[in-house]
Amino acid sequence: MKENKINKISIIGAGRLGFSIAKGLIKSKQYQPSDIILNRRNVELLKESNSFGFQIEANQQSAIEKSDLIILSIGPKDLKSFFKDNSIEINSSQVLASTIAGVSIHDIEKEYLIANKSIEFSIFRVMPNIAVELCESMTCLSMKNSSDNNDYQRDLMNRKNVLNIFSKLGMVKVIEEELIGAATALCGSGLAFFLRSIRAAAHGGTEIGFHADEALALAAQTAKGAASLVNDSNDHPELQIDKVTTPKGITISGLNEMDHSGFSSAMIHAIVKSAEKLNKIK
pLDDT at site 41: 86
Report domain extents, the chain.
9-175, 183-279
132-158: per-residue pLDDT in tens? 999 999 999 999 876 667 788 889 999
Given a cut of 70, the residues of the chain with pLDDT beneath it are 1-4, 146-148, 282
**Superfamily of the domain at 183-279:** ProC C-terminal domain-like (1.10.3730.10)
pLDDT at site 1: 53
Three-state SS at 172: strand
pLDDT at site 149: 74
pLDDT at site 161: 95
237-279: per-residue pLDDT in tens? 999 999 999 999 999 999 999 999 999 999 999 999 999 999 8
- Helix (H) / strand (E) element for 188: namely none
Helix 263-279 / helix 250-260 crossing angle, nearest 10 deg: 40
Q: What is the CATH number of domain 9-175?
A: 3.40.50.720
